[in-house]
Amino acid sequence: MSSLVLVPTPVGNLEDITLRAIRMLKEADCIYAEDTRVTKKLLNHFEIQKPVYPFHAHNEHRTLDFVIDKIKENTMTVLVSDAGTPAISDPGFLLVRACVDAGINVSCLPGPTALIPALVGSGFPCDRFCFEGFLPHKKGRQTKLQELALEERTIVLYESPHRLVKCLGQIATFFEPTRKVCVVREISKIYEEFKRGEAQEVQKYYEANPPKGEIVIIIEGKNGKN
């Protein structure tokens, strides 16, 4: 029976990959990747030679039926993202949904993801939390921020470095300037950083120190509740 296996890959340090993930990559008939160049570097590091094909935000709808047919031809197909667990804030979920609808067995290995270490290391309550991924860039952004301002659980967002200062300013505006946040950059990499403080303070810090790298924003729930 054909199967699709989602294999998490390191978000930073290559040592974060699991032994099982390496075995799945070695045993796969083929691998679908967000960026084949990134994945081939990972495979070369672990001396794995497998055919790698693209499945990313620019081709997912156009190639979905074709990929499903290919998966049915194989015993085991692996899906990876550039870093972390596939299908979280990337188009991998479309492939998972299509495989489920087609009766293809789908499984996901436990492993690296950016949101969990950022949440746990933030110091905010993490027994209950709200993950929003990337906020809308334009349409619906203000409405979403107004909704989240009332959220009592800890909130987890993804953000790009060039929009971080703007996002922190919006948090200070729509939530309140004293709402506590934790900005986490470059998880599991050499320059990993946890910057904690009130939204307006952290905004000023990054205005003076333009950020680089992958970013997770953790926001304290309303009234410090969870």
Q: What's the pLDDT tens digit per position in 53-89? A: 998 766 666 788 889 999 999 999 999 999 999 998 8
Q: Is the confidence at residue 226, as pLDDT, over 60?
A: no
Q: Is residue 39 a contact partner of residue 31, using CB atoms and an 8 Å limit? A: yes
Q: Is the confidence at residue 225, as pLDDT, over 60?
A: no
135: pLDDT confidence band, cut at 50, 70 and 90?
very high
Domain limits, CATH 3.30.950.10, in the chain: 115-224
> Average pLDDT over the chain, rounded to whole?
93
Q: Where are the alpha helices (DSSP H) in the chain?
A: 19-27, 36-45, 60-73, 92-101, 115-122, 141-148, 164-174, 199-208
Q: Is the confidence at residue 155, as pLDDT, over 70?
A: yes
As a whole number, mean pLDDT of residues 132-139 equals 91
52: pLDDT confidence band, cut at 50, 70 and 90?
very high
Upper half-sphere CA count for residue 205 (Cβ side, 13 Å): 15
As a whole number, mean pLDDT of residues 10-20 equals 95
Percent of the chain clearing pLDDT 70 (strictly above): 96
Write down the CATH superfamily of domain 3-108. Tetrapyrrole methylase, N-terminal domain (3.40.1010.10)
Q: Residues 73, 54, 105, 111: is their CA dihedral positive or negative?
A: positive
For the domain made up of 115-224, the CATH class stated in words is: alpha beta
As a whole number, mean pLDDT of residues 138-151 equals 94
CA distance 73 to 71: 5
| Closest residue by Cα to residue 32 from 60, 61, 12, 13 | 60
For the whole model, what pTM was predicted? 0.90
Domain limits, CATH 3.40.1010.10, in the chain: 3-108
Q: Residues 38, 39, 42, 47: is their CA dihedral positive or negative?
A: negative
For 64, the token pair is 């979905």
pLDDT at res. 210: 94
Upper half-sphere CA count for residue 127 (Cβ side, 13 Å): 2
As a whole number, mean pLDDT of residues 121-145 equals 94
| Closest residue by Cα to residue 158 from 125, 130, 135 | 135
pLDDT at res. 223: 82
